Structure 1
Amino acid sequence: MTTDPEALLPPYDGIKLADVRMVKSDQDAAEALAALSSTDVLGFDTESKPTFLKGEQSTGPHLVQLATDEVAYLFQIGAKPSVEVLKAVLESKTILKVGFGLKDDLLRLQSKLGIDTHNVLDLSNALRKGERNTLGAKTAVARFFGQKLQKSKKITTTNWSLPRLSDKQILYAADDAHVALRVYRRWRSDQAAAKAAL
C-alpha cells in the first residue's frame, strides 16, 4: 500500500516526438532562432553526461533544451550551429527563460560555452509557498495539473554526450523544458485569476 499521494495521480501527458526539433543544420538553427526569438517566455533546461567517480568534473552541458508553447528545440553541444543560437537567446534580456533547478546549468553554460545567461526565473525557488526545500518539476506538476510526471532514473543517468540520442532521451529532455513553461503559464494565470477575484 503506497502512502505517496502523487503515485495515485494520472500520468502527465508530455510533449509528442513530432513536436520536438533536433537542431543539426544551419537551416534548423535559423528556424529555431526565429521561433525562439519571437516569444516572451521559454522553457529551459540542460542535460549533462553523469559523473560517477568522486572528484570527477562534469564536461556538460551536452544538451540544451528550449521550448515554446508548441515546440521544443534540442541543441547538442558540439553541433556547429548550436552555440550562436543559444548565445543569442540565452543572453537576451527580453526573453524570459524558466526552468527548475537551474543554478548548475547556468554555471556550466558560462564555463563551457561562455554564455552569460540573462532574464532567468528558477521555478524551484519562485513557486515555494513557505516550504523549506526548493520545489521540483514533479511536485509542481502534481500541484498545478493534478498529474504525475514520470521521471525515469534510468534515462536521467544515460549518456547525454552521444552523437545520436534515443527517442526516450529526446522526449525526456524535451519534456523537462516544456513542462517548466506549462507550469509557469499556469502559475501566472492562477495569479491573475486570484487578483481578478479580489
Structure 2
Amino acid sequence: MKEPVVPPESDAMVVDAPAAVRMLYSYKEFTPTPTLVYTRHEEEANDLVQALRGPLGFDLEWRVVIRRGMPFIDRRTAVVQLSDEKMILVIQISAMQKFPQKLKEIIESPDIVKMGANIANDGRKLFNDFGILAANLVELGGLGRVADPQFPFTRSIVALATMVERYTGKTLDKGKVRSSNWEEIPLTEEQLHYAANDAHCALMVYNSLLKTSAASGRILTADKFTSNLKDNYENGKLKLKTSAPSPISRESTASSIETQSSGSSSGSSRGSGWDNPTVQPGDQPKPQHMRAYNMWHHRNMTMDQIRAALRSKENPLAVSTVISYVVWALQADTSLPFSVRRLKEFVQLEAGSWRRHRDWIVRVDAERRSVS
C-alpha cells in the first residue's frame, strides 16, 4: 500500500468569494510568483525539467482538425505544461524532432506526482502519440471526493475550471485562445499565459485539497485517485486510442480546432503519420530495409551512423525513414530477432514515428507477453 499523502507547505488558500466578484485566475497573482519559461528546443527542455520539484501541475495542448462530414482528427500533442511552485515550464513538443528524454522520465516516474483534470485521458494521449507510459497521475476530482467532506460532486472527473472556482475562488478563463494554433512558432503571450495557468492552477487546487484533508483528519490513500498507465499497459487494459470528447465540450485540455471541407487536405492531419505501406508476413524484406535492420540490430549502430550509411554523410537519410525501414523489415520477416524494448526506444527517436507504427508494436508486445 502506498504511503498516505502529506500536505505540502503552501501559501495557496481557498477563497470564498461571491461568483459576481470572482477575478480571473492568474499565476501572476500568487506569492511567490512562479517564473514562466517557454522552450521549443529539446536539449533546453531536458535541462529545464531537472530543476522542477514535484508535485507538479500537468496539462497538454493539441490541435483538432475538423472536416465537414468526417470525424474530427486529433493531432499529436503540441505542448506539455508542468508547474511547481517556483517555475512553470511550457514545452512546445511540436517544434521538436524528438520528445525530450528527461521530460519523458518525469512523466513516467512513479515517484513524482502529476495532477490535473481528466488526467488519465492526457496520459493515454501521450501513449498514443509518443509511447510514453505516464505514472502517478492524480485526478483532482477523485482526490476531492476523498479529501473534502463537503465535496459536492459524485463523479471523479470534474472540470478544471469548476475545481479552480471552488478551491481558489477564481475563474479560470477558457476563452478563444483554447482553440488557437498550438503548433504555431512561437506561441503568443496569450497562449503562454493560458497554458501556464492550466498547469499552475492544478497544483494550487491539489495543495488546497491536501490542506482540507489534513484539517478534517482524513487519511488519503493514493490508489483511490491515482492512475498508472504502465500497470494498465502490462495488464492489457490500456486503450490504444484516446476516447476524446467533442472539441466543443472538452473540459480538461485545450485544443485548437481547424475546420476544413471534406475535399480539402491538411498536411497536419493524421494521414501524415499513417502512410506506411501494407506489409504482409511472408513478404521478402526489401534489401534497403534489411540493411537498416542489420545495422540497427546486429551492428548496434547509432541512428546518425545508419542515416549516413544508407545515403551519405552530407545528405543522410531522414530519421523517420530509417525507423520505417527497420519496422517494415520486421513486419515482412517475422522470424527476425529483436528486442521490443530496444525497438520502442528506436522508434521514439522521432516524434511522429511512434504514432505511425504504434499499433503493430503494441500488438507484437502483447503477443510476447501472453506467451512469456
Task: Name 1:47's counterpart in structure 2.
Answer: 61
TM-score (norm. length: structure 2):
0.47
Q: Deviations over 1:95-147 (max 9, x none)?
A: 00001122332112101111100011011332243524432222222211222
Give 5+ residue unaligned stretches, structure 2: 1-17, 146-150, 219-372
Name which structure has the greater RCO, CA cutoff 8 Å, separation 6+.
1
> Which residue identity lines up with residue 46 of structure 1 in the other structure?
L
Map 1:88-167 to 2 at 5 A: 88-128=105-145, 129=151, 131-133=153-155, 134-152=157-175, 154-167=176-189
In 2: Cα distance, 1:15 partner to 1:85 partner: 27
Q: How far off is 1:7 after superposition?
A: 4.4
> Which residue identity lines up with residue 137 of structure 2 in the other structure?
V
Q: Contact (CA 8 Å) 2:35, 2:87: kept in 1 or not?
A: yes
In 2: Cα distance, 1:81 partner to 1:50 partner: 21
TM-score (norm. length: structure 1):
0.84
Q: Deviations over 1:3-56 (max 9, x none)?
A: xx63442332324898211123455224323212xx231000000113323413
Give 5+ residue unaligned stretches, structure 1: none
The reply on whether 1:20 has 2:33 as its aligned counterpart is no
Task: Name 1:74's counterpart in structure 2.
Answer: 90
Q: Deviations over 1:65-121 (max 9, x none)?
A: 011111111111132464212211100111000011223321121011111000110
Larger-Rg structure? 2
Root-mean-square deviation over aligned CA pairs: 2.4
In 2: Cα distance, 1:86 partner to 1:27 partner: 10
In 1: Cα distance, 2:174 partner to 2:35 partner: 20
SS of the aligned residue for 1:187 comes to helix
Q: Contact (CA 8 Å) 2:64, 2:73: kept in 1 or not?
A: no
SS of the aligned residue for 1:52 comes to strand
In 2: Cα distance, 1:87 partner to 1:106 partner: 12
> Which residue identity lines up with residue 86 of structure 2 in the other structure?
E
**Larger deviation: 81-90 or 5-14?**
5-14
Moved over 6 A (4+): none
Name the % identity.
28
Q: How many residues align?
A: 189
